[in-house]
Amino acid sequence: MNNKYVIDFPAINQQVNGHRLAYLDSAATTQKPASVIKAVNDYYNLFNANPHRGAYYLSVKATEMYENAREVVKDFIGADKSKEIVFVKNATEGFNLLAYSYGMNFISEGDEIVISIAEHHSNLVPWQQVAKARGAVLKYMYLNEDGIISDDEIENKITEKTKIVSVTHVSNVLGTINPVKKIIEKAHSVGAIAILDGAQSIPHMKVNVKDLDADFVVFSGHKMLSPMGIGVVYGKEKLLEKMPPFMFGGDMIEYVWEQEATFAEVPFKFEGGTQNVGGAVGLTAAIKYLNEVGMQNVEEHEKELVSYAIEKLSEIPHVTIYGTKDIDKKAGVLSFNVDEVHPHDVSTILDSYGIAIRAGHHCANPLMRHMKINATCRASFYIYNTKEDIDALAEALKNTRKWLGYGSK
Ligand SMILES: Cc1ncc(COP(=O)(O)O)c(C=O)c1O
């Protein structure tokens, strides 16, 4: 085994269908290292209580652990203040928070919201709702033949009418790293706010929200080694301050009278009800693990794997790879198809070899239509993957057409 991290991941070290598991679906969710599982376990074994409410030892401890997670996330993404970190359930809830709290209140008739055609539905459908409710226009930046948003597209689509630009940092389908610095600068030059979908970037590369000058960044913990059910919205303090709460109820209030209520300060006014302390503890342990590996190493490892995968899959007849092959513009996500074999069949056949890939539209229907395809197979990589996983994928792929009676070529 040429990868020292594999040993840390219990789920990776198993046989599936009589084969060594090759888990190639980290863009959907990552496996969890034993240290994260232990941290969550310890929390529930020793410290579980409702945070922010109790005046006793366990509740104080749970509060400390929850608030420490905010501090750890703040440092990880280079934010200024921990109050700029809002915990949510996942990236989807994060975008809904922004759409309902910012979009529904600060977008007016005729305003334009600009996204890219490569957005995950979670950074698309909420903006459709805002555009419909507010009489605004939802505009798309399209991709060139390499799957890239060109400078012209940025210049032409983001105009004086634009009020929100919300774009993914890394495409969950093509793995393309978008020119987000340029997009954010252009958004700011016309007075729009810039939102970054960091779901596929924060887990895989060093991202500094201040260097990028993003107004909001949204991501999910479960795609970066932590448990499901915890996600993050980073927002600049001055914007969070002016936004109304999104969910109303316990914990997010200051005072409540019969007909009126005042709300807690940022970030608590956005965190209604009992929060996912176990998830926040898991996220803290996940970030500790990633910091120990080093984000530079994470990124380099994935680039090496995706280059190797492009090389191996390019050698196989009847396999089409989508998106740029320029490694500088690509993260560890590779979409491909096998001629005449539906991606679901490819995935099922690969599963019989213990290989887990994703097949389908990847929650990106408009992108699929733009590319004139229905679905793709997607292999995605993380620190626990090895070249051996890719060799297994390539070997099994050679057999997919044979399984369905197309012969070996
Ligand atoms: C780019 C991107 N954005 C947003 C999401 C939504 O994440 P979640 O399902 O955790 O809300 C995903 C999930 O695959 C994604 O890949």
- The answer to whether the beta carbons of residues 140 and 117 sit under 8 Å apart is yes
Q: Which of 34, 363, 368, 404 is catalytic?
A: 363
Number of other CB atoms surrounding residue 288 within 10 Å = 16
Q: What local confidence, expressed as pLDDT, does residue 54 receive? A: 84
Q: Give kind and range of the element (H or E) at residue 202.
A: none
Hey, what are 166's tokens?
């919300």
What is the model's pLDDT at position 408?
54
Positions in the chain short of pLDDT 70? 1-2, 407-409
- Per the structure block, which two tokens stand in for 59? 């509740």
Determine the distance separating the centroid of ligand 1 and the alpha carbon of 57, expressed in angstroms.
36
> What pLDDT is attached to residue 53?
80
Distance of CA 360 from the midpoint of ligand 1 (Å): 15
Pocket test for ligand 1, best of 120, 333, 362, 376 (most atoms within 8 A of CB): 120
Residue with tokens 């997919």: 400
- Which residues have C-beta atoms less than 6 Å from ligand 1? 27-28, 90-92, 120, 122-123, 168, 172, 197, 199-200, 220
Give the predicted TM-score (pTM) of the model.
0.97
Hey, which residues does 338 pair with through a beta bridge?
Answer: 319, 341
- Residue 279 near residue 229 (C-beta atoms within 8 A): yes
Note if the bond before 343 is cis, omega within 30 degrees. Answer: no
Residue 2, pLDDT score: 61
Mind listing the pLDDT tens digit for each residue in 57-114?
999 999 999 999 999 999 999 999 999 999 999 999 999 999 999 999 999 999 999 9
Phi, psi (5° rounding) for residue 325? Answer: -105, 10
363 noted as active-site residue: yes
Given a contact cutoff of 8 angstroms between Cβ atoms, the answer to whether 219 and 232 are in contact is yes
Q: 54: which residues sit within 8 A by CB, 6+ positions away? A: 60
- Residue 120 Cα to ligand 1 midpoint, Å, equals 6
Per-residue pLDDT reduced to its tens digit, 117-130: 999 999 999 999 99
Q: How far is the CA of 122 from the centre of ligand 1 (A)?
A: 7
Pick from 26, 29, 92, 171 the residue to mutate for probing ligand 1's pocket: most ligand atoms within 8 Å of its CB: 92
